[in-house]
Structure 1
Amino acid sequence: MAVAWLACGAGPVWANPYECLIEPNQTVEVRSSVEGVIEKVLVKRGDRVRAGQLLVQLESSAERSAVETARFRSEAGGRLAAAKNRFDYASKKQIRSQELHSQNFVSAQVRDEADAEKRISESELRDAQENIELARHEYRQAQDLLNRRMLRSPFNGVVMDRMLNPGDLAESGTGRKPIMKLAQVEPLRVEVVLPIAAYGKLKNGDSAEVMPEGLGGRYSAKVSVIDSVFDSASGTFGARLELPNTTGKLPAGIRCRVDFPGLQNLPAKGSGVKATPSK
């Protein structure tokens, strides 16, 4: 983008304004990590979305069946209950056999058989417990596979464009067509190019006031990035500000002016210097 910085003396309200551009904090192309037919697209261009909101659902009947099967197995407690009952019975039988053997009412063989029965029932109980735990892991895995077919918004933002519709094939991979494009508009970022004379007079966290072009109003922003690599051809460097936009009132992609209180005493350099396009 090409941004110019203006000279001092712009008036009593704007002591030392610089041209800037308000942009989305980030834009992302929503793609599927798995291939599948799109069953539902729940938003359209211009809609505002919240972080975690369901945007797209792929056809997933097989995955849902797998989730239900895995859930049933994870909750089935019949084998575990039977193993517990056998272990309780074998434990009591072992205790009685020990007592009877100490009184010479039963042989050592009967006592040993009771001990072996308890150990076997204990192993069966452990096996049943492990099977239940394994079923729970399989249920979580099935749920994760199903969730991969439900695409959610990574942030609060707005739908910039929708490229695919229900019935289209969503293909995985960066070279494939995205389903939609989202822009994060809370917060917004403000890009400005400043003269080298301003370097060192700003620091991260400094306050500034931004006036969007054509909308009016003054909005507080804070410096978040100061470039340390200059453009020698134009004698400028870039800076970025973070502009809160909790209400979503401010649009992105418009020009603006920004005033830095810390640069009010910066000497003027004629009518302004044009900056080279930033990368």
Structure 2
Amino acid sequence: MKTWSMGTLGALASLAALAPHAASAGPFECLIEPNQTVEIRSAVEGVIEKVTVQRGDRIKAGQVLVQLESGAEISAVQLAKAHADAQGRLASAQNRLEYAQKKLDRMTNLQTQNFVSAQQRDEAEAEKRILDAELKQAREDKEQAAFEQRHAQDLLNRRTLRSPFNGVVLDRMLNPGDLAEAGTGRKAILKVVQVEPLRVEVVLPLAAWGKLKLHSTADIVPEGLGGRYTAKVTVIDSVFDTASGTFGVRLELPNGEAKVPAGIRCRVDFPELRSLATPASYTRGSFAK
């Protein structure tokens, strides 16, 4: 079940106060909201080097929004890459093992002809086993170096904060030179909102229950803008507000060209509810609680 923010509930309550309590079920008041609101914080502590956006800027998914100072981390990546790319020890171990294998083959052949003793042949075999172990260790060291390179790169990547979606910068709280502190309880750097798609919230009377279906469509008329837009039902609450006899419905409103702003009132017309008779006592005031 979806949850209602206090701001949404209060706004819907104020909208309800404007609605007549007649038996007619005309278009219902609704609110158009961002699909998501996200506060951009850093997963690691550091001094902010650059903030690339301002309040009101449009942003794209993956766009760099904030860069922390990263000199030490860049050096660590370069050092780890040098270790991971180093081939000298591994190549040397491979060459020595190949030579030891050839030596063992010769000793085995000579020992069968009694030209060398069994002890000499055993010594060659022992040397080959030692070099086998050295080659294995060299390979493990190279894998460890590759892991350390990935780890260093991950730490560096954490100092670059990117947009999680296409949207708009709602607020900018920190600037270059400020300390970005890690953790959800710390001050955010930016607040961004997703406006494609938008979310439409509406509360309906109990009499409307069972008459709407998921993925059905409705017409949305934004207040003050005019025009009609088609939205799709994505959530129908199954728990009712006892005091008001209402339940919540959420719709998804496509907004690819950002023609409709978020945070405005609207009216929604459900074709399935046009003939609905609602009680004159129907109110939505309890949603403000």
Provide TM-score, normalisation by structure 2: 0.89
- Percentage of pairs with the same residue: 67
Structure 1 counterpart of 2:145, from 113, 135, 143: 135
1:196 aligns with 2:215: no
Match of 1:168 in 2: 178
Q: Which runs of 4+ in 1 moved over 3 A?
A: 5-9, 268-279
Structure 1 counterpart of 2:195, from 185, 195, 211: 185
Q: Is the 8 A contact 2:166 2:194 kept in 1?
A: yes
Match of 2:53 in 1: 43
Q: Please list the CA deviations of residues 66-92 of structure 1 after superposition, one character each: whole Å capped at 9, or x if unmatched.
A: 011001101111100111101111111
Q: Is the 8 A contact 1:194 1:237 kept in 2?
A: yes
Distance in 2 of aligned mates of 1:274 and 1:68: 61
Residues 1-279 of structure 1 aligned to structure 2 (within 5 Å):
1=11, 2=13, 3-4=15-16, 16-269=26-279, 273-278=283-288
Distance in 1 of aligned mates of 2:37 and 2:96: 61
Q: Which runs of 5+ in 2 are unaligned?
A: 1-10
Distance in 2 of aligned mates of 1:268 and 1:237: 14
Change (3 A) 1:30 1:36: same
Distance in 2 of aligned mates of 1:278 and 1:201: 25
Moved more, 223-232 or 154-163: 223-232
Distance in 1 of aligned mates of 2:262 and 2:29: 15
Is the helix fraction higher in 1 or 2? 2
Q: Please list the CA deviations of residues 103-131 of structure 1 after superposition, one character each: whole Å capped at 9, or x if unmatched.
A: 11111122111111111111111011000
Q: Is the 8 A contact 1:8 1:16 kept in 2?
A: no
Q: Please list the CA deviations of residues 36-81 of structure 1 after superposition, one character each: whole Å capped at 9, or x if unmatched.
A: 1100101111112222221101111011100110011011111001
Provide TM-score, normalisation by structure 1: 0.92
Q: Please list the CA deviations of residues 146-195 of structure 1 after superposition, one character each: whole Å capped at 9, or x if unmatched.
A: 11111111222111010111011111223322111011112111000111
Match of 2:5 in 1: none
Distance in 1 of aligned mates of 2:29 and 2:23: 12
Distance in 2 of aligned mates of 1:276 and 1:158: 32
Q: Aligned residue pairs: how many?
A: 274
AA at the equivalent of 2:227: G
Q: Is the 8 A contact 2:100 2:124 kept in 1?
A: yes
Once the two structures are TM-superposed, the CA of residue 269 in structure 1 deviates from its matched residue by 4.4
Distance in 2 of aligned mates of 1:103 and 1:246: 85
Q: Which runs of 5+ in 1 are unaligned?
A: 10-14
Match of 2:8 in 1: none
Match of 2:3 in 1: none
AA at the equivalent of 1:89: Y
AA at the equivalent of 2:77: V
Q: Is the 8 A contact 1:94 1:114 kept in 2?
A: yes
Q: Is the 8 A contact 2:205 2:282 kept in 1?
A: no
Q: Secondary structure at the match of 1:276?
A: helix
Q: Please list the CA deviations of residues 126-150 of structure 1 after superposition, one character each: whole Å capped at 9, or x if unmatched.
A: 0110000000000111111111111
Q: Secondary structure at the match of 1:144?
A: helix
